[in-house]
Structure 1
């Protein structure tokens, strides 16, 4: 059976082998035009989801103290009745805004979560948007009215990969195969990354900048483009506004000044600017690492400006504005019209992080403050789909305390995570192999067909329909998932059954759409200086705030990355993905290892406060990072641990916080943090319950841990 993988955001084509209706094999689909048969270790682990003995297969209701892991099995009707009753009680006592919906990485049901929230009248949906895809999405939309993707098929002369290890990672239908084919045809590569990744090793120029200084580099590139008149003068004159103000604004960001901030050589900065700006066609692939600092929005906004100045916007081989196909998808399905304006105005953090609020999302740090201090009001209930906040949200200590203040918490997941262990009700979710979905990417629509079922599990969409019916808002939802898919496809004249037979519909790519009516901004032009942001109390032009400085006690700059084996916090318990990785790793330079007297595999402790415990990881010594930079594995937890604190003891978010935030998006400093390191005592693997069949947990791969796919939604934001 032909389908589309959803183990990450890449969307590779997959072929599932069925024997008597049971999936027995899975491989990449060589006929998929995007992935061309590519299939990573996560995709190969898909069948582990179906067969895993750790899968949740019945709803659970808590019977012991919160966090004790003491539950009793329940039927689906009882569990959904309980969730609906608690949410209704919360709304009646404290208002609909006291109910929060949560979501982690998207599994194509994001618009369903928002539709439920809007129907219930709550403006509060919390998730990773602020540190994932949305700073880039909103920077693009506010600058030129749309979201862009790299046109690798258009043969860029130069591809600028910024914090993106595209040859190893993938995002929303933009597969590394496309870049690889472009490189084979002669595309030159500039990589901006603190690490020498696999992609950086293939680059014509690698800018190994200091973590947290990306915005300064972006402003420096714009400075050089303008100062050397490398911009497209005709495009700037006809299709942009604010150029003169921008020119004055970037004058201080000369190469020597930027070099001092970023740790790069001035000549390398100039070379990168020249290669990109003087290319006949060029594109920028920006990764999610750029979203994880207090400069998140301005970094992406500056990159959007750079694209426009050089004439690469919506051009062949450049950054093409996504033109969605006419289905009811990201833009229409959330039904923002159902949320009254007075309720939307109550969004937690909305008065502070106004650009994030435009998307409909709430930043976790703002929710933490609301829960802990009941400001601006009391939040009493939370329903979470596909998220593990105890590991994925910044400041794990505050997250634990905040969740403890809830009157009611329900979690839908495939496995018992540390966050699910804190819940009052746990709902067993199905995997991507067990549900029907429409795959909406920039280049095509495809059918993700259910190939099997796991008894007792339900899709998130089915749960949401059941809850909507119980909560009195069922009229806003189709009676079944298939009916909903039929309605979503009505714009292209197909039913779900018909679409399954079609399987795949390519999206026609159109260039320079602005020539027929301008850009989808208020002025119809590219907003180099954004007066709308200025009216909201922000700066009209993007800026740069220096990251916190290192000290004698905290001499290292920490960034983080997700290992290629895993997806964010997921798949730690699957044998295919975890057999080589039983403990997290931190990559450090040999010089740093010498100072600490550690070698490969030794345990080291990373801390932000020398007097308090940090997080323990295995040292991975490599010159792929600078002597004062370390790269920690992100999203780590131990599935074999029953205790929440023990399970999350190596989560890097135990030492992150929300003290510095992006003013537009609420993005927290997860990269560019000053930290200290020290030798640690030998950690007991999973509390001494090491599997004797597992290999030695010490690193066996000399390469640094790789970043995770740049995940997120497919380009549209549910608030619009």
Structure 2
């Protein structure tokens, strides 16, 4: 398909790419009629997309043309949090913002804090021009940890990088473990490959505390307790060892630290594993038998991990333990065997060319962890911490809704002495606290280029319509702000289209992107069939000398939750907060058709836990702990296992019954590695209102 195909004199199609935080990174075809986008479809000529989009993105025009879309710069007129603004010109907004930032920077530019994440996954509208601006300014850096950094470090310590199987080969697998993933909701194209494998006779097992839509459609569901995934992986290793379901040749030639791992795994008997995980001995033994005997029989055995299992204290160790399993049984020998959490380590992004770190001119600004922004906004200046945060520039994120322990986040954003600028499409919870809201373009209105963490293609997004109202792309906003700050370096003049070319340099055929909208990366079909891991040793590192050198355990281990289920009698229930099926983080919550499907904020409870509290299905309940209280509706159902409740997120706080969401309850504690949040390591109590 050419990038623009004329259908009639007033209708044409444009190739784009889905910008959202999803491993599928779909290629889109946008139909434009008389300058208006009338339809968004999946690109049938992109193999990974295969013509299909999820329910959310198929309604993207509803989001772009939403009646509440912000189309003019706004300046706050009422108290912070009131959402009261007046319209101003771009020049008024940018001139005042620049003057305020220059005054703060004259004292200490590290008092200026950017805050962004994956509202768009694009390399241009994400961190391209924005990084150049903040580097020139010398602003504080942001440790972008809120989703995947625990698993990213775990993969790096074990496999050498964020690498793994190619997703399309799951269709050929004969045993698939879906571990910590609701693929039907979060990765529909992976699920397509699972369905193909099932039709060809594959067995599919889901490992997840919640009986999700995915778990319902698998042959078996193992509902372990939150935060016990490493224990289960070690228990599987025990059984692989004692039953000799091992590939001794692969272990000898392509792994490091086997003797030490073997000693540790033999401590994890099925009985001990079952007790820690809250499952049966038979489930431990049966899962190990399926995995070990399938591999021994020469069948392709594959594991698809996702990010839920790493959002606990021991999340990094859990990913490490699971990532060791394929090497034990030689699953990597086949292209349909191994493990996949992320494929982003294959992407040849030219970060320095895109972000221009030389603009720092030798400075090393401090780094603030985005997962602890609640505490950081409330922290005064100190010799250890540095200056208090005086200015916050938020783009591609909604921290008031998505950051943990949100009562503190709200308190920080409500500071009268905090100058806050938000680039947004809508008046989100975060935008309500802004001093200025700057209208940003949606994916239909700008250039961008995308990699994926679920497949191995690069995608180009062309603008299909003109920007609505006075909206400007993120890159253009930072370009204009740089001009108002007096920055004259030519790097601030590079266009969005040129930045698309810069992102991957000559590592990707840009002419192919222009023609087809997508281009494949040269990734081997079976990348570790004969070893060659991108670790220092070139092997799968069961033992990580790098971890040991910094005083951590070099072997994967079970690290108990900060707040295990039942440990505190005041808060006896564990709570996980998986995403609602029709939202993506806090995006799409204001799309009425999708919100109507979800209904309202709810917590899923097992019947036994509900009965003990005299709670019936549909009752309004109060979910609480020492950090806060969240009011919602109870859904008594089999999706929740005993002892665990599922608070589905992430609703905008302003749309909740009491102006809160589940992050009122989550903590700012961090994971064992990767400095990531522990959203699913959360103890609560539930009472009927």
TM range (shorter): 0.7 to 0.9
Counterpart residue number, 1:104: 117
The answer as to 2:54 corresponding to 1:19 is no
Counterpart residue number, 1:274: 289
Counterpart residue number, 1:628: 643
Counterpart residue number, 2:312: 293
Q: How does 1:484-633 map to 2 (within 5 A)?
A: 484-488=499-503, 490-491=505-506, 499-513=513-527, 518-547=532-561, 548-549=563-564, 550=566, 551-609=568-626, 614-633=629-648
Match of 1:306 among 308, 325, 345: 325
**SS at structure 2 position matched to 1:594:** helix
Q: What does the per-residue CA deviation read over 1:409-465, in whole Å, with 9 as the maximum and x for residues that have no partner?
A: 111111111211111111111111112211223322222221123121112122222
Q: 5+ unaligned residues in a row in structure 2: which ranges?
A: 1-12
- 1:667 to partner: Cα distance: 2.9
Distance 1:338 1:157, change over 3 A: farther
- 1:470 to partner: Cα distance: 4.0
The answer as to 2:488 corresponding to 1:482 is no
- 1:638 to partner: Cα distance: 5.2
- 1:594 to partner: Cα distance: 2.6
d(CA) in 1 for partners of 2:139, 2:326: 37
For the Cα contact (< 8 Å) 1:62–1:72, is it kept in 2? yes
Q: How does 1:99-498 map to 2 (within 5 A)?
A: 99-107=112-120, 108=122, 109-112=125-128, 113-127=130-144, 129-130=145-146, 132-154=147-169, 155-170=172-187, 175-278=190-293, 279=295, 280-313=299-332, 315-318=334-337, 319=339, 322=343, 328-329=349-350, 333-336=354-357, 339=360, 343=364, 346-348=366-368, 362-365=369-372, 368-369=375-376, 371-374=378-381, 375-378=384-387, 379-405=389-415, 407-441=418-452, 442-452=455-465, 453-471=467-485, 472=487, 474-488=489-503, 490-491=505-506
For the Cα contact (< 8 Å) 1:370–1:377, is it kept in 2? no
The answer as to 2:46 corresponding to 1:57 is no
For the Cα contact (< 8 Å) 1:122–1:343, is it kept in 2? no
Distance 1:468 1:514, change over 3 A: farther
- 1:150 to partner: Cα distance: 4.1
Distance 1:227 1:86, change over 3 A: farther
Q: What does the per-residue CA deviation read over 1:576-631, in whole Å, with 9 as the maximum and x for residues that have no partner?
A: 2112334211111222333333333221111114xx86211111121232232211
**SS at structure 2 position matched to 1:23:** strand
> What's the Cα RMSD here?
2.8
Distance 1:8 1:540, change over 3 A: closer
**SS at structure 1 position matched to 2:597:** coil
Instruction: Between 473-482 and 539-548, report the one with greater CA deviation.
Output: 473-482
For the Cα contact (< 8 Å) 1:163–1:192, is it kept in 2? yes
Instruction: Between 422-431 and 404-413, report the one with greater CA deviation.
Output: 404-413
d(CA) in 1 for partners of 2:448, 2:276: 46
d(CA) in 2 for partners of 1:178, 1:106: 27
- 1:385 to partner: Cα distance: 0.7
Q: What does the per-residue CA deviation read over 1:36-63, in whole Å, with 9 as the maximum and x for residues that have no partner?
A: 2322221132111222111111111223
The answer as to 2:678 corresponding to 1:657 is no
Give the TM-score normalised by structure 2. 0.87
Give the TM-score normalised by structure 1. 0.84
Counterpart residue number, 2:682: 673
d(CA) in 2 for partners of 1:365, 1:226: 41
Q: What does the per-residue CA deviation read over 1:96-133, in whole Å, with 9 as the maximum and x for residues that have no partner?
A: 33222111324113332444444433452154x24x22
d(CA) in 1 for partners of 2:488, 2:283: 58
Counterpart residue number, 2:6: none
For the Cα contact (< 8 Å) 1:298–1:544, is it kept in 2? yes
